[in-house]
Structure 1
């Protein structure tokens, strides 16, 4: 098994974080500093930041939370309330898989499973994210097709959105398979629209319903 996957399997670290520690020389395998291509098994001795990693299957936790507008997906809100304030004390070590910005609401998934974190957040895994979006004005004819083809949001790749009208007016369902910074808001802004509300209802296999704002449940 690749070292980064091994670390994610038996700790609360993601593969990305494991790669960072490997590159920094913080991972030792059988008394030798590891490199990114190292393969290991449960028979090997793996030390992470000076602490031996115990290769026994863990019982991971998954928490689904309905984040209200105004809460920050961070442990340090810098003056703003954080989603961790809505959780029990025993859940403070969980990591967020797919953050929402302060002005957005809806489903937040928290877990101590590094592999699940990677599965839900890495673009190569093609996990669908579903949102309900309210705009400042209805979309013009042809805009939905243009979003499907892709729009320029100022970085190296075009942004593709699957947009479906939910009702007459300014409310739409948006489906994406990426998670770039403020991707939906920037995509609509590129065509002259402003997102007034952004609400996530699904992340991969996990759905928000029937949680009310500030409620959470453990899977």
Structure 2
């Protein structure tokens, strides 16, 4: 098994975070510094910072209404990191990201398998955002956003963009390019003033005040797994 998959399945951190640990030479396999792409056999001894990886324990699935200013990283040296903000007793990590200046719904878990399935953009899972921009939203702007915009050397996938108020619109994406909505708006001559994620698949912010988190309900988990597996 690849080291990234092995560590994510223990619930210690995500595959992306594992790459950072490997780059920092903090992982060893049988007392040898781990290299990118290394594989792990059942009998191998994997240590992080010289310590064994604790078992994941009971699966945890959390929805957080992230405030502006919180960074979606497990790195302890980052002030305002999302893990310290939640202060959950289990070792959890975020599914995907919301940039520091954005707010709204983000899911956290210790289930590495579900993270990998949700992060595959080709699965087409919907994420909905409410966006406020610096000037009135026009029908042409919404049409161009819906058709796809050239950013980062590629064209974004067609999506749904709808008027919400004079300076606000809602957009539903099925991909997650870096700072995608902000870059799309900038390419069309608009500047994002506020960006809030309000839905991931069928999980919404309903009942969650800013900065609050709660465990997903049994019904939410059942529907989530049904769409992923």
Q: Which category of TM-score, normalised to the shorter sequence, fits these structures?
A: 0.7 to 0.9
**Structure 1 stretches lacking a partner, 5+ long:** none
Cα distance change on mapping 1:18 and 1:196 into 2, 3 Å: closer
1:201 aligns with 2:198: yes
Structure (1/2) with the larger helix percentage: 2
List aligned pairs for 1:1-219, cutoff 5 A.
Answer: 4-16=4-16, 47=46, 49=48, 58-74=57-73, 75-78=76-79, 81-91=80-90, 93-153=91-151, 155-160=152-157, 162-219=159-216
Work out whether residues 45 and 53 of structure 1, in 8 Å CA contact, stay in contact via their aligned partners in 2. no
Range with greater deviation from structure 2 (45-54 or 180-189): 45-54
Shift of 1:216: 0.8
Work out whether residues 45 and 52 of structure 1, in 8 Å CA contact, stay in contact via their aligned partners in 2. no
Shift of 1:198: 0.5
Cα distance between partner residues in 2 of 1:82 and 1:182: 18
Shift of 1:16: 4.8
Shift of 1:168: 4.2
RMSD in angstroms over aligned alpha carbons? 3.5
Work out whether residues 135 and 170 of structure 1, in 8 Å CA contact, stay in contact via their aligned partners in 2. yes
Cα distance change on mapping 1:76 and 1:131 into 2, 3 Å: farther
Q: Number of aligned pairs? A: 212
SS at match of 2:105: strand
Cα distance change on mapping 1:45 and 1:183 into 2, 3 Å: same
Shift of 1:132: 0.7
Partner of 2:226: none
Shift of 1:167: 3.4
SS at match of 2:164: coil
Shift of 1:149: 2.4
Work out whether residues 60 and 109 of structure 2, in 8 Å CA contact, stay in contact via their aligned partners in 1. yes
Work out whether residues 132 and 169 of structure 2, in 8 Å CA contact, stay in contact via their aligned partners in 1. yes
Cα distance change on mapping 1:141 and 1:59 into 2, 3 Å: same
Shift of 1:140: 2.9
**What is the TM-score of this pair, normalised by structure 2?**
0.71
Shift of 1:108: 1.8
